[in-house]
Amino acid sequence: MVNLLRFFLRYYLLFLFVALQGFCFFLIYSKNKYNQAAYINVANGVSGRFYSTVSGVSEYLHLRGVNDSLALENAHLRAQLLDSRFDNKTDSLFARDSATRFVQVYSYIPARVIRNSVNQATNIIYLEKGKLQGINKQMGVIAPNGIVGQVINVTDNYAAVMSVLSKDFKVSAKFKKNEFFGNLHWDGINSTSATLEEIPKHVPAKVGDTIVTSGFSQLFPRNVMIGVVEKVNAAPEKTFLDITVHLSTGFGNLSYVYVVNNLRREELHLLDTSTVVK
Amino acid sequence: MISQLPINLFRFFLLLMAQVLIFSNIHFSTYGVNPYVFPLFILLLPFETPRWMLMLIGMGAGLALDVFLGSMGMHAAACLLIGYLRPFLINVITPKGSEFEISPNVHAQGVAWFIIYLGISMFAYLTFYLFIESATFYNFFIQLLRIVSSTIVSVGLMLIFLFLFSSRKKRRFA
């Protein structure tokens, strides 16, 4: 401490000089517009380079947040699609206004995949959202380029999804070009293909035809991509075609999915049960 | 020391007015000469002024000039610099056993001593000031030309001032 004091006393002139110069430069840069601008220019040049480096690094750290927001935005955009809405056009000839003409039927909740498998007999995917975020049992799940599966169990913050790659999963599918529909289920062989059944033999099925959801189930809206026809086999002893569909969803690298919320599910369910009872 | 106060105050106001009213209005635009005679006030303070006081007086005088020239802090910084450097400079350029008056005097120290003294001081002053003013090293050589030409003109004007106002009286030996 004494040495420190001695040091300051010995060099007090220098310190005084530096302090006074500091004051002068404070005046210069606070009172003179040109110097201010010149200083800001240089400072911006330096800090700009610094920040661009920092942001280059931190972009990676923020990728998850960016992905989250993009997924949310995609969910909103997807909800704007015509297939997510009921078109009133046939009901009222005069409803021209799109606000009254279209009724929202499906909304979408983005969710992150936290566990995934493709090599079991029943492949279950876990999502990072659950009951509290609005996910319920029996909701459909789609990925950006195809269907994923169906929610079979939810807790408060997590959801279990039975993926298309499960022996019990079935979904109503149709040819996009001519609306013939059948049931799609996984053949259990590999994670890239499934079988489309109950397509009559007169249907002109060709390799490369697009298969989409029919919208008959409550799980998915119409026209969500499922895959393309990979192989058509018309066995003489069968009444239906054997169609192998190449699934468009890459189940091996799912990271973000959208949970489909059918806003009319309760109503349809009510209709379903009352009709069956009768 | 106290007796030096009136003459220095007088010199301060005289140089300030000369600087503000005359020399800061002169623009030899081809070489960008801007002569500064005001620092002579700091350079002519008594030899025995304490160094901390030199610095404070220098900065205060510089601020006074800044107020008139609208360059807040720039001349203060430059004047502070020569206030700080002055004792070192005098030590370096003065031969041992020279005659000293209370203040630097052109008749006591001689013209050669003064040219070196003023030249180095003004070079430092103008270098510091002009680079702060332009706030860049762009056009470095044009800037250097300005510094050198301004230094020469400033020193010339200062010498004229010294010969006009220096007294031959009051010799003493240090």
pLDDT tens digits for A170-216? Answer: 889 999 888 898 999 888 778 888 999 888 888 888 899 999 998 88
For residue B173, the model assigns a pLDDT of: 46
Q: Which of A175, A169, A184, A204 is nearest to A244 (CA)?
A: A184
pLDDT grade for A12, boundaries at 50, 70 and 90? confident
The answer to whether residue A228 scores a pLDDT higher than 60 is: yes
Question: Region B156-167: what's the mean pLDDT?
Answer: 88
CA angle A267, A138, A165 (to 5 degrees): 145
More confident residue, A87 or B19: B19
Question: Which residues of B have a CB under 8 Å from any CB of A?
Answer: 51-52, 55-56, 59, 62-63, 66, 71-74, 76-77, 80-81, 84, 132-133, 135-136
Instruction: Work out the percent of chain A whose per-residue pLDDT is above 90.
Output: 11
Cβ within 8 Å, pair B62-A20: no
Query: Best mutation site among B67, B74, B81, B137 for testing chain A: the one with the most A CBs within 10 Å?
Result: B74
For residue A4, the model assigns a pLDDT of: 83
The answer to whether residue B174 scores a pLDDT higher than 50 is: no
For residue A96, the model assigns a pLDDT of: 58
Is residue B104 within 8 A of residue B47, CB to CB? The reply is yes
Instruction: Work out the percent of chain B whose per-residue pLDDT is above 90.
Output: 33
ipTM over 0.85: no
Identity of the highest mean pLDDT range in A29-33, A119-123, A239-243: A239-243
The answer to whether residue A23 scores a pLDDT higher than 50 is: yes
Cβ within 8 Å, pair A13-B80: no
Looking at residue B20, what DSSP letter applies?
I
The Cα diameter of chain B in Å comes to 49
Q: Give the residue ranges of DSSP H helices in chain B.
A: 4-17, 40-43, 51-69, 74-93, 106-109, 111-134, 140-165
Question: Region B91-110: what's the mean pLDDT?
Answer: 80
Is residue B148 within 8 A of residue B130, CB to CB? The reply is no
Residue with tokens 């998850």: A64
For residue B28, the model assigns a pLDDT of: 62
Cβ within 8 Å, pair A20-B136: no
Cβ within 8 Å, pair B59-A28: no
Return the beta strands (E) in chain A as ranges: 85-87, 102-104, 106-115, 122-127, 140-143, 146-154, 159-166, 170-175, 181-185, 193-197, 210-213, 225-233, 242-247, 256-262
For residue A198, the model assigns a pLDDT of: 87
Distance CA A181, CA A2 (A): 93
The answer to whether residue B171 scores a pLDDT higher than 60 is: no
Cβ within 8 Å, pair A35-B59: no
Average pLDDT of every residue of chain A: 84
For residue A123, the model assigns a pLDDT of: 86
